Structure 1
């Protein structure tokens, strides 16, 4: 009878799988601040809150407005984000691209595989 893996072993396996996935050609990699901004956006969207560009730039924990704006521009060029029109033509909402959603789908599969015990 095989014993269950330690939670840390599952996490380590997930890290290996996700790193292997990141090494495959797909979206351009993000720097550390872009990763934080992406996590911030995803967390807010999952809570049902749409973020506008100005609103995102107002969160001091992400950096100065100019820094956040520059990173949003970079993330758009890399294919992670898009800016969508809103009812007010002066405002844009920040959304994940289909490629970014596919990236999270692949990460989810890595997590599922990491939790699934390897067949022997």
Structure 2
């Protein structure tokens, strides 16, 4: 009999294969957490500005957050969109990042079908 943990482990195996594809440069663990935070905010329909993210201690100091956002932008994972206030930038996923999450979703579905 297959244990429920086997599904999750199969998903991790498939997700590792997706992360190894040369679509976008790899993220470090903090950048991965930031990416997931931005994705969850977008899924919930929330606008997310850089200033909003500074208040989250798990992202480190404002300088650390700014450095990671700059890196993620250069790697093609996020973009900073203008708002009505030119001093504020909205953080959004790029189309490539959205395709990455689509591929991870496919991995999850595939893992559950291979029980």
Q: TM-score, normalised by structure 2?
A: 0.93
Residue deviations 1:29-59 (CA, integer Å, cap 9, x gap) = 0001101111111122222211101111222
CA deviation vs aligned residue, 1:44-87 (integer Å, no higher than 9, x gap): 22222111011112222211000000000000000000001111
Corresponding position of 1:18: 15
Consecutive unaligned residues in structure 1, runs of 5 or more: none
1:93, distance to aligned residue in structure 2 (A): 0.1
Unpaired runs of 5+ residues, structure 2, are: none
Check if 1:81 corresponds to 2:75.
Answer: no
**Structure 1 outlier segments of 4+, above 4 Å:** none
Aligned partner of 1:94 among 55, 70, 91: 91
After the TM superposition, which of the residue ranges 105-114 and 42-51 deviates more from structure 2?
Answer: 42-51
Provide the rounded CA distance (Å) in 2 between the counterparts of 1:92 and 1:9.
42
Structure possessing the higher radius of gyration over alpha carbons:
1
Could you say what the CA RMSD is over the residues aligned between the two structures, in angstroms? 1.2
